[in-house]
Amino acid sequence: MATDGLFRAVILLAVTLAATPTRAVETPQEKPSEVVFDLNEIAVFQIEDDRLRAYFSSGQWASCREDPCSTVKTYPALVSQKPLYGSIRFPRQDAFNRSGVEYVFALDESKGTGTGYDRLFFDGNRNRDLTDDTPLVPQTPPPIHSIQKWKDIEQQVIFSCLSIAFEGGHEGKSAIELMPHLIITDKGYKTLSFVTTKAHAGQIEISGRKYEAYLGHGRFVSGCFDRPMTALRLVPSDPSEQLAEWIWGDRLMAIHKIAGRYWQFAATPAGDRLTVKPYPKAIGTFEISSGGRHLKEATISGVLRSQDGTVAVGGPSPHVWPEPNQSCQLPEGDYQPVLLSAQYGPLRMHIEPNCFGDGKGWDLHPSDVYGIQIRRDRPFVLDFSNKPVVLFASPASAARVKRGDTVDIHALLIDPKLDIGIGDIHAMPQERISTVYTLVAPILFIAGLAWLVVPRLPRELRPIGVVPIFAALLLWCWLGFLSYMNAETAKVYSPHPQRLEPAVVIVRADGQVVAKGGQPFSWPVPVDLALKADQEVFTINVTFDTLDLYGKVRGTRQVTVFR
């Protein structure tokens, strides 16, 4: 009987469960995964939006000069007495013109000098011999929307297109078509730009937000479309949404923050597919700090670069530049600045990677130091506590010049540990002390005293006089604090921001000053400069007065002048 009862109970339970509606088991929301979108090939001159069309048709440009390139073996016989020469590097993978291989070219006027440049010799096979290259002639008519309408253009020519095959090219289409575009202005500027004639476009979706994606080449021809410097523009379908167009934020390597999450992008070499995926690294903190200085505010904004890509620093903004903040959340990684703008108390300044070598001027191999290290459990604090140094990009160490020559002096303020340059320093105006405050304080104090000594006033009302006296004392304390801050952090007064230029003083060994001024500074050595021997050593002293940032930072360099 007990067994029968148990059997009936089991059957009843099974029927009950079978009759009960089932519910799906709730699982945690899945993290977004990468998505691949198809892109279609389009002609850049047929892009409807004027700004986008101008962007993708701007091209990578090269300056034209009147002297031939020394590395060219043979030029063709040119008709013009004023031919133009130049070179350009493809593919471009950075902003320092140090990547790619060099292509040389020459421009000729086939109908004689002054008739207009109508022949382009381009060394497409890179053998340094332009005699075996078929000259390119002007397109007639040029593509619609290809002609620039600047007022100062004296001559412009759209030449026939050429094709260049880049390493890593996709099967069946290993070359990219470029359109040479010559522009000569009435001020004598001569440039030849190379415009990639094709781009790719398609609709993509990120966290429920739709965008029209444009992939191509803008001011850099980066080669195949999977390269980090390939241009990528995202146009929101929602007119109320705007993406800040920060420096290098228009590149495939840009890491964008959309819907509260960071996203990374990749493309195929052919440019026919775009991959969107959430950035896999954890989030850390980047912040700027006073470092113990008396500062009213410290904010920073701009762009950082890692080996993975670029990221905006600061808050969201509908403008070109991110909104300045004291701190912000960024993906983990080792970074260097692309460009940062800091408001540091009364100072405003720019922070960039050090792109100069000692005595070498602009260095084609800029800093490879990624010293801004952001970790999830360890914020990076920029407090300018590292000891700065003065770097002389010019002149070189132990330079020798002859009387009558010119010594160009270019010194920079460098943080050697982070290998960053701090420049374009401006001192902001002082806090003005309002006349109203200075008048109200004594009025309140006198009114309070008068209230306390008024005859026939009930004793219980007399304490009221303490209130204006206390308010006057607080106001005086505030005015004193403002005066102190002005004295401590704004040692120079100007009603407008004042650029703090480094001071340059050139002296003899005995301390006699022979030249001085502010940077940029050039010293034209007098032909009749009296030397104490056949040669004499002069010392160049450069002083950066950074006020409360570092104080005065000094650097010296010696140069020898000979007869």
Q: What is the pLDDT of residues 475-488, one digit of tens each?
A: 767 666 666 555 54
Backbone angles phi, psi at 201, to 5 degrees: -145, 155
Better-scored residue on pLDDT, 121 or 316 = 121
What is the CA 459 to chain-centroid distance, rounded? 69
Per-residue pLDDT band at 11 (split at 50, 70, 90): very low
- Enumerate residues 6+ apart whose C-beta is below 8 A from 49: 235
Q: Residue 448: which H helix or E strand, with range? A: helix 435-453
Is a pLDDT exceeding 80 seen at residue 468?
no
State which amino acid sits at residue 402: K
Q: Is the separation of the CB atoms in 203 and 37 below 8 Å?
A: yes
- Per DSSP bridges, beta strands 380-382 and 283-288 are parallel
Buried b (16+ CB within 10 A) or exposed e, 129-161: ebeebebbebeeebbeebeeeeeeeeebbbbee
Cβ-proximal residues to 205 (8 Å cutoff; 6+ apart), any chain: 35, 37, 211
Cβ(226)–Cβ(267) under 8 Å? Answer: yes
What 478-486 contacts at long range (C-beta under 8 Å, 24+ apart), as own/partner pairs, is 478/437, 479/433, 479/437, 479/438, 479/441, 482/431, 482/433, 483/433, 485/294, 485/296, 485/431, 486/430, 486/431
**Which of 21 and 150 is assigned the larger pLDDT?**
150
Question: Over the stretch 344-355, which tens digit does the pLDDT of each residue have?
Answer: 988 999 999 998
pLDDT digits (tens, 9 = 90+) for 372-430: 999 999 999 999 999 999 999 999 998 999 999 999 999 999 999 999 999 999 987 65
- What ranges make up the beta strands (E) of 280-359? 283-288, 298-305, 310-313, 327-331, 333-344, 347-353, 356-357
Distance CA 408, CA 19 (A): 92
Percent of the chain at pLDDT exceeding 90: 62
DSSP 290: -
- Report the chain's mean pLDDT, rounded to a whole number: 85
Cα–Cα–Cα angle for 180, 186, 192, rounded to 5 degrees: 15
- Paired tokens of 204: 């993509």
Kindly indicate the confidence band of residue 149, based on its pLDDT and cuts at 50, 70 and 90.
confident
Could you report the per-residue pLDDT of 508-553, keeping only the tens digit for each? 999 999 999 998 899 999 999 999 889 999 999 999 999 889 999 9
Q: Are 313 and 330 in contact (CB under 8 A)?
A: yes
Segments making up each domain of the chain, as ranges = 35-40+203-216+223-278, 42-196, 435-489, 499-562
For the four alpha carbons of 164, 104, 267 and 203, in that order, the dihedral sign comes to negative
> CA separation (Å) from 393 to 7, 397, 408, 504?
95, 10, 10, 14
Check residue 96 and give its pLDDT: 56
Percent of the chain with pLDDT over 70: 80
Instruction: Identify which has the larger pLDDT, 489 or 117.
Output: 117
- pLDDT category at 433 given cuts 50, 70, 90 is low
Selected residue with higher pLDDT from 322 and 113: 113
215 pLDDT above the threshold of 80:
yes
Is the pLDDT at 2 greater than 60, yes or no?
no
Beta bridge partner(s), residue 163 = 177
SS3 per-residue string spanning 465-476: HHHHHHHHHHHH
pLDDT in tens, 90-102: 988 765 556 788 9
Q: Under a CB-based contact definition with an 8 Å cutoff, are residues 310 and 249 in contact?
A: yes
Alpha carbon distance 367, 177 (integer Å): 33
Nearest Cα to Cα of residue 336 among 355, 357, 353: 353
pLDDT higher at 15 or 218: 218
**Of 159 and 166, the one with more pLDDT:** 159
Return the structure tokens found at 114.
Answer: 């002054």
Inform me whether the pLDDT recorded for 264 exceeds 80: yes
308-337 pLDDT, tens digit each: 899 999 877 666 678 899 999 999 999 999
Helix 466-489 with 435-453: angle, nearest 10 deg? 150
Q: What is the pTM of this model?
A: 0.78
Residues 182-204 have a mean pLDDT of 95
